[in-house]
Structure 1
Amino acid sequence: MAVGEFALIEQLQGRLGGGGKGVLLGMGDDAAWLDPAGQSLVTSMDTLVAGRHFFADVDPADLGWKALAVNLSDLAAMGAQPRWCLLSLALPMRAEGYSPWLEAFAEGWHTLAESTGVALVGGDTVATDGPLTLTVTVLGVAEQGIMRRDAARPGDLIWVTGTLGDAAAALDLAFVARGLPGYDFAGPATQAQALEARRLRPLPRLDFGRAAQAAGVACALDCSDGFLADLDHILKASGLRARVDLERLPLSPALRDCIDQDLVRWQRWPLTGGDDYELIFCAPPSLTPALLNIAHSCALPITAVGRILPADSQPTESVDIYWQERPLALPGIRGHQHVF
């Protein structure tokens, strides 16, 4: 017997539709009724499409995690506390084929939602002749303002949380495994697994983002399109320039084994590769001790990789890239391309 849209909605509601803080009325009515209790509301939305943002054969549990994680990362970059979310699913298969898929998807989603305190309060499902498509809206709250892209200042240090480039390297391996154009490289299976785990299950830096904002950091964004492209968003919004020392970009042990001193790989993965969902933030040097203490309490490494410079009256580029004190030409491709 075919399982209809209402049954799928009931399955989602039963699996993910529990109440949460500030939820006066959640899933099951025409709309959710939420109470931010006098705090500022911060919201973001992303759409993920099979064949463009993820492979169609992805494990649905990994997809559930990542669909929520990429949106929570936007809230982390604002220094907001996530509270609620909405989920829209456009499903291309017959409804009876989606019950086990949805159960696995809900498992991955629920694992992250539970650990971050996010409640699913509504959404929609629809059948489609097109690819599987997910749209997620997250809502968070902020008590003392937010971090913004346009708040960098000359003299600020440019920081990065965690490590960069793992997801881009893993995507290259996934492309090659599927017979698609990609950058092939040899390495042990454990190394490939570590890189793939970072690609499929990124960790939104929510605790650090909130603590950094409370400590006085005014400028941040999440690194999703590639470090160089996302830093450029800050520089354009703030009307400034920057210097970055390429060798300072933080690498995981798995990626460092792949890169060594290969400048092509440095530029391809940590500099311009995407899907990291780390934070890039800018802060005056006086905040360095406080930021290092916050990073220690969050068990999260942070690395200063460059400095914000005053605007140039006739700039040729917004970023000066150096490798071991030698200037480098910027690569032709500046960021992650969501095209499979």
Structure 2
Amino acid sequence: MANEEFALIAQLQKDLGHVGKGVRLGIGDDAAWLDTEGRTLVSSMDTLVAGRHFFADVHPADLGWKALAVNLSDLAAMGAIPRWCLLSLALPPLAEGYGQWVQDFAAGWLALAERADVALVGGDTVATDGPLTLSITALGVVEQGVMRRDAASVGDLIWVTGTLGDAAAALDRAFVSRGLPGWALNCSETCAQALENRRLRPQPRLDFARAAVAAGVTCALDCSDGFLADLGHILQASGLRARVDLEHLPLSSALRECIDSDLQRLLRWPLTGGDDYELIFCAPPSLTGTLMALATNCALPITAVGEVLPADPHAAEDVDLYWQGQSLSLPMNRGHQHVF
């Protein structure tokens, strides 16, 4: 394996090891040498395992994009500027060798890395008898403060970028197509493909997040485990409650075709489904005009879906959920489980 591993590293260096901003020494030595230029460093790390976080038959280009995207989304949630990544690959044997797989993976990774201006500066590779596993560490810098999940305040509006539920609906479709338990989609092939694209190629909201921090937003996180579960993280960390109006959750036209006023599907996909990688953020009403202007500049829709409420020690739940003015019970399953 040693020679094959060296060849793999050399190919990754060739395909992805381009020098980026602040890189004094990148791939090729025992460690990277990076210059933060006097800014504060923000870091995040995710591990993705075949059969748990993605299907083993995913195209490597889609995997390359998504593996980077989910980490950049964490940086976006903090309002950070992405700079560098470290990648660890545990690869099972491939009958045809690693060459084409790495080339395709690199193409997907690079398509997003160039857009986000982030450089791969190091990592590790290892052969394994287990499932394909990727670990990515993302490093970014901030020019001022960061957004945090414990910074919500009473009276803040609860906002969501983009739309919710597309990836969860597409995942259900993928389950059903593989003979696994899931909810069938009743929509056109065009809409189904649009949902699948959102599942495989999420868009980290980096530009809007940086602008939001500069505008004074202090509370956010990325929506990866499902809106209700991730909002719960904010409320728990901030010691507060919230009201959410379900009819305000933003839906794509493709998902609207699948839901067709079915409340149970609305609860399943936009409310509790995962893998959206949109931002949930809280901000005082006084920032509404500024935020709407920023969203227009970024060509990104944002939607206010609820309000942060004072803590209530007697309340059984931390979210009051309403549908067209009527109170609803919260779903038993409040978030997405990354198990295939």
**TM-score, normalising length from structure 2?**
0.99
What does residue 260 of structure 2 align with? Answer: 260
What does residue 64 of structure 1 align with? Answer: 64
Deviations 1:132-168 (A, max 9, x none): 0000000000011100000000000000000000000
Deviations 1:107-149 (A, max 9, x none): 0000000010000000000000100000000000001110000
Q: 1:211 and 1:263 mapped to 2: Cα distance?
A: 35
> Which segment drifts farther, 179-188 or 23-32?
179-188
Which letter does structure 1 place at the counterpart of 2:106?
A
What does residue 301 of structure 1 align with? Answer: 301
Q: 1:267 and 1:3 mapped to 2: Cα distance?
A: 51
> Which segment drifts farther, 141-150 or 86-95?
86-95
> Which segment drifts farther, 174-183 or 254-263?
254-263
Q: 1:32 and 1:145 mapped to 2: Cα distance?
A: 26
Q: Does 1:205 align with 2:208?
A: no
Whether the 8 Å contact between 2:149 and 2:234 is mirrored in structure 1 is yes
Whether the 8 Å contact between 1:167 and 1:274 is mirrored in structure 2 is yes
Which 4+ stretches in 1 moved above 2 angstroms? none
Q: 2:170 and 2:94 mapped to 1: Cα distance?
A: 31
Cα deviation, residue 235, structure 1: 0.1
SS at match of 1:212: helix
Cα distance change on mapping 1:4 and 1:96 into 2, 3 Å: farther
**TM-score, normalising length from structure 1?**
0.99
Q: 2:15 and 2:206 mapped to 1: Cα distance?
A: 24
SS at match of 1:151: coil
Cα deviation, residue 259, structure 1: 1.0
SS at match of 2:288: helix
Whether the 8 Å contact between 2:169 and 2:185 is mirrored in structure 1 is no
Q: 2:125 and 2:2 mapped to 1: Cα distance?
A: 15
Whether the 8 Å contact between 1:153 and 1:308 is mirrored in structure 2 is yes
Q: CA RMSD in A?
A: 1.1
What does residue 91 of structure 1 align with? Answer: 91
The runs of 5 or more residues in structure 2 that have no matched partner are: none
Q: 2:43 and 2:185 mapped to 1: Cα distance?
A: 39
Deviations 1:165-221 (A, max 9, x none): 000000000000000000012211101100000000000000000000110000000
Alignment of 1:1-340 (within 5 A): 4-94=4-94, 97-340=97-340
Q: 1:257 and 1:189 mapped to 2: Cα distance?
A: 11
Cα deviation, residue 313, structure 1: 2.2
Q: 2:37 and 2:112 mapped to 1: Cα distance?
A: 24
The runs of 5 or more residues in structure 1 that have no matched partner are: none
Cα deviation, residue 2, structure 1: 9.6
Whether the 8 Å contact between 1:88 and 1:125 is mirrored in structure 2 is yes
Q: 1:189 and 1:15 mapped to 2: Cα distance?
A: 34
Q: 1:118 and 1:185 mapped to 2: Cα distance?
A: 36
Whether the 8 Å contact between 1:2 and 1:96 is mirrored in structure 2 is no
